[in-house]
Structure 1
Amino acid sequence: MFINKNIITGEFIKRPNRFQAYVIINGEETMVHVPNTGRCKEILIPHTKVVLREEDNPNRKTKYDLIGGYKGDKFINIDSQVPNKVVEEALREGKIKELEEYNIIQREKTFGNSRFDFKLENLKGEEYYLEVKGVTFEEDGVVSFPDAPTERGRKHLLELIDVKKSGRGAGVIFVIQLEDVMFFTPYDDMDREFGEALRLASENGVDIFAYDSYVGENFITLKDEVEVRL
């Protein structure tokens, strides 16, 4: 997936709240939007090189979205809107081998009282509900989710168990928004209840996938399946 908008770089200064940050662009401190409610504290460090996407909506308060940053020489995309687009592209291209039989792909579909990122169907009429989570937290090659407590994320996992019990397929895919990692594991120190829910989902037959990405300042696409350690 290529980003078909103007991409520039800047120097991160501070993030006063979840949605706003201040970045030096061409020598001038500018307020930008952060499209990620996670903490990203190990990425958004003062004086870090960050990547910005220019937006053309005249009604916006900010001209740029902060979509990624460098951790050493490793670029990490932090745009929370990207994972769903990456997964849709991968599903349509058959890159997720466990799901390649599902040729009908629908976004944002409801099961019971729950709304999931994808509803998939195959030629037999079998249904599969898939939830997507973006992963940006990395430490020594190990990636984890979440990087902030998420009651909503835990609820999604428990709802996927209900889907599985109904006789339909159910899964969660963790899209790692960087390259070349060793394995994925739930971030229990950040949110123990999410980790417990993930393990419970796995025990009840919910598929747990993790994939890293080919990623650059102006592109991101699904790469390889990554080991999941629960």
Structure 2
Amino acid sequence: MSEKVFIDFPAELKKMTFVERPNRFILHCFDEGTKQLEKVHLADPGRLIELLIEGVTIYVLPSTNPARKTKWTAVYVESNGLLVSINTTYPNKLVEKMLRNEIIAELSAYQWVKSEYTYGGSRWDFLLEDKEKNQLLLEVKSVTLASDGIGMFPDAVTKRGAKHVQELTAIAKAGTYKTAILFIVQREDVEIVTSAAAIDPVFAKSLEVAVYAGVQLLSYTCILTKQGIEWGDAIPVDPFLKIQ
């Protein structure tokens, strides 16, 4: 893609060392500069146990909200020399920017209508509409788990994620809306995406059923830099790929 789409970070990233994760949304990281143990907000509630290993480098941003209890937000973890995004906020902003500019090739017939759209008792990431007023519900899933060039989702059992896929399948069958799932890969060493069936067989089976019902599956990579996150390339999604 010739046109670059980029989300800038609001400040310079700071390096810290990961110590522990006391709960889903908090990391304890050591700041070498101040010799202090800092509490860092984590915006990705995934398991991340392959990434959050004691002693790895975490890149953080200062919070712009003075009322927030944590003054730092985790952005990247460095895993074997590779940056992996552990912050879903910036990739989702990137997806929205792409949709608003109508430059995701597979969805270029649609215009962005609304983010965080509620339908059928669930909240969907995006509502899109084409010139014939056909509407599409788009759900975005962030991929951080990978092995040998294969990205996998989820990295922990996700009843909510399976429910989303099942609901999109039912909506597609009903014909009320068109439906799609976009897997946005948060690392640069992935060439294909599939489900992590060994971790969550219910999600994996739900994704297979969704394909037969006409739910569109898309995946794109991201280019991760110290200045921000750039939209990458389309890669295939194969929910039937079996990982040995």
What's the TM-score, normalizing by structure 1?
0.95
1:158 and 2:158 are equivalent in the alignment:
no
SS of residue in 1 equivalent to 2:208? helix
What CA RMSD, in Å, does the superposition of the two structures yield over aligned residues?
1.4
Q: Which residue of 1 aligns with 2:90?
A: 82
1:174 and 2:179 are equivalent in the alignment:
no
Structure-to-structure mapping, 1:84-163, within 5 angstroms: 84-163=92-171
The farther-off stretch of 185-194 and 111-120 is 111-120
What's the TM-score, normalizing by structure 2?
0.90
Matched AA of 2:101: E
- What is the aligned-residue identity percentage? 33
1:107 deviation in Å?
A: 0.6
Matched AA of 2:91: P
| Structure 1 residues 39 and 123, CA gap change in structure 2 (3 angstroms) | same
2 CA distance for matches of 1:119 and 1:132? 12
> Which of residues 167, 186, 193 in structure 1 aligns to 2:202?
193
Structure 1 stretches of at least 4 aligned residues deviating more than 3 Å after TM superposition: none
Matched AA of 1:92: R
Q: Deviations over 1:119-138 (max 9, x none)?
A: 10112111111001111111
Q: Does structure 1 conserve the Cα–Cα contact (< 8 Å) formed by 2:91 and 2:229?
A: no
2 CA distance for matches of 1:103 and 1:189? 37
Q: Which residue of 2 aligns with 1:4?
A: 10
| Structure 1 residues 104 and 37, CA gap change in structure 2 (3 angstroms) | closer
Q: Which residue of 1 aligns with 2:213?
A: 204
Matched AA of 1:19: F
Q: Which residue of 2 aligns with 1:225?
A: 234
> Which of residues 32, 35, 43 in structure 1 aligns to 2:40?
32
Q: Which residue of 1 aligns with 2:3?
A: none
Q: Does structure 2 conserve the Cα–Cα contact (< 8 Å) formed by 1:102 and 1:120?
A: yes
| Structure 1 residues 113 and 17, CA gap change in structure 2 (3 angstroms) | closer
SS of residue in 1 equivalent to 2:67? coil
SS of residue in 2 equivalent to 1:162? helix
2 CA distance for matches of 1:71 and 1:114? 34
SS of residue in 2 equivalent to 1:98? helix
1 CA distance for matches of 2:205 and 2:88? 23
